[in-house]
Structures are given as C-alpha cells and as structure tokens.
Amino acid sequence: MTETNNQIENTTKDIKLYSSKAISGATFLGGPLAAGYLISENFKALNKPDEGRKSLIIGIITTIILFGGIFMLPEKIVDQIPRQLIPLIYTGIIWGIVEWTQGVPLKAHEKHGNSFFSGWKAAGIGLISLLIVGIGIFGYTYLSTDSEVYEKYEKEFTEFSKNETETLVFYNNLNTGTKHSLLKELDEKTIPKWKENIEIINKTNRFEDLPTELIKQNEILLKYSELRIQAFELFRKAIEEDTDKYIQPLKQIHLQIDNELKKLN
C-alpha cells in the first residue's frame, strides 16, 4: 500500500525541472527575463501552460520596467548604488516567488531523486538573457543617434552578438552531445567565432572618432572574448581527455567572465 502511494505521489518522475538554486543563479546573471523563462519552463513541464505563459510575460515586463527605471534615475544616484545590490534584491525576490509557486513540487521532485537540469544549462540561459538585455540597452543608448560611427559600430556589434548567441548554445549541448559532436562544435564553430569576435573588436577600434565609451566597452569585450576562448579551450581539453580536472579552472574563468559582463551593465 505504501509503495502504491509513493508511486502516485511521484508525479514528476518522467520530467526534468530547474531547481530553485539554478533559477536563482540564472536570475543573478540574466535578470528577471531569465527567471521568467525558467519558471515558465517548469510550469510547462508540470502541465501548467497558462501559468507558464504568464510567468514569461511577467519576466519580460519586469525586465523592461526594471531597466527602464534605472535609466530614468539621475546618474549621480545610479553611481552611488553598489553594483551587486540590485541583482541581489531581484534574485532574492525571484527565489521567494519560486519557493511560493513551485516549492512544493520541486521539493517532492528532489525527494524522489528525480532529474534536474544542470546548473550549467541554467547559467547558459542566464547569459543569453543578459545578452538580450545588453542588446536592448545598447539599442536604447546608441541607436537613437544619427552618428555614422555609431551606425558602423552597431553593425559590427550585431555580428559579435550573433556569434555569441550561436556559441553559447554549446552549454546546452553539453548535456546531450557526444564527445565527437562536442569537439567538432568547438573546433569548427565555437572557438573560431570567438576569434572572429576579437577581430571585430580590433576592427572597430580602428574607426575614426570612436567615442570614449565605446573604446572602454571594447576593452571589456576584448577581455571577455579572450576569457571565452580560454574557457572553451579548457572544455575541449576536458572532453578530449575525458577528465574533470579542469572543473576548478573553468569555475575561475567563468567568475572572471561574470565580472567582465557586470562591467557592461
């Protein structure tokens, strides 16, 4: 009788979910947009599509309100706010929302030993969300000007963003790809596209009358791109050698990547 009850209670054994920890980490990286997407995916997996759609819409609207509000604040006030404060606040709020709306099924899912999506996948989604937000901020800040140099820079940056989006898919493929397919992806697409991004940065640095803020942004993007190459090259070694000895160096590189991305906010 007890066994039958356990089988009935284990209603999520055939699905994967994002844990509250993974959602919180992705939220800290990518903001409410990442949270809305991951919470939405959990609701869809739990056969609650309406709640899923609402979560995604709320995530989009919250992102617009959040960053729109920050832009409306006087620059002096923004400069006085610690960089980590706002992400910590909205991450804490999202954690509370996840516990409130999905805490029970997530805890039951864990108790039964069911599968969760990896933190790497959630982090990848957080970074993609950050990229989308960054593009939006870039567009708001620069694309309203008629300056030719901004237009030229935006054109190159679009290619940079495209390369970034295409290569970050690698984090999702880590869970499903074979050794051969992952090595091929790294050699033929991922690493070459980041080398191409470095060439794009160097090209834009040669633009005449490039504004100071874009020069500073390029310095960050160059460091960011170099770190991406280091990370993907370490992934390649780990996969080729079938070892986990590069886990700690990878964590350190990703911390540096996060620091560079925060400078772009």
138 within some domain: no
113 and 157 within one domain: no
103 within some domain: yes
Instruction: Please report the pLDDT score of residue 185 as a whole number.
Output: 95
> Which of 117, 137, 168 corresponds to the end of one domain?
117
Residue ranges in the chain modelled with pLDDT below 50: 1-7, 145-146
161 and 107 within one domain: no
What is the extent of the structural domain holding 96?
10-117
Instruction: Please report the pLDDT score of residue 147 as a whole number.
Output: 67
Instruction: Please report the pLDDT score of residue 1 as a whole number.
Output: 38
Instruction: Please report the pLDDT score of residue 13 as a whole number.
Output: 85
Torsion, Cα of 131, 135, 141, 146 (10° steps): 150
47 within some domain: yes
167 and 70 within one domain: no
174 and 237 within one domain: yes
87 and 17 within one domain: yes
106 and 153 within one domain: no
Which residue in 172, 158, 64, 74 sits closest to 127, CA to CA?
172
252 and 153 within one domain: yes
140 within some domain: no
Cβ(166)–Cβ(189) below 8 Å:
yes
153 and 108 within one domain: no
160 within some domain: yes
3-class SS at 17? strand
128 within some domain: no
Which residue in 188, 175, 182, 58 sits closest to 120, CA to CA?
175
3-class SS at 243? coil
The CA-atom distances, in angstroms, between 55 and each of 33, 48, 165, 230, 247 are 10, 11, 23, 36, 33
- Tell me 116's DSSP state: B
5 within some domain: no
pTM listed for this prediction: 0.49
113 and 201 within one domain: no
151 and 237 within one domain: yes
Structural domain count, the chain: 2
Query: Per the structure block, which two tokens stand in for 103?
Result: 């805490």
Give me the count of residues in the chain: 265
136 within some domain: no
> Which of 101, 117, 133 corresponds to the end of one domain?
117
180 and 102 within one domain: no
16 and 113 within one domain: yes
Query: Per the structure block, which two tokens stand in for 258?
Result: 């996060």
- Taking the C-alpha atoms of residue 164 and residue 221, their distance in angstroms, rounded to an integer, is 11
> Which of 71, 98, 117 corresponds to the end of one domain?
117
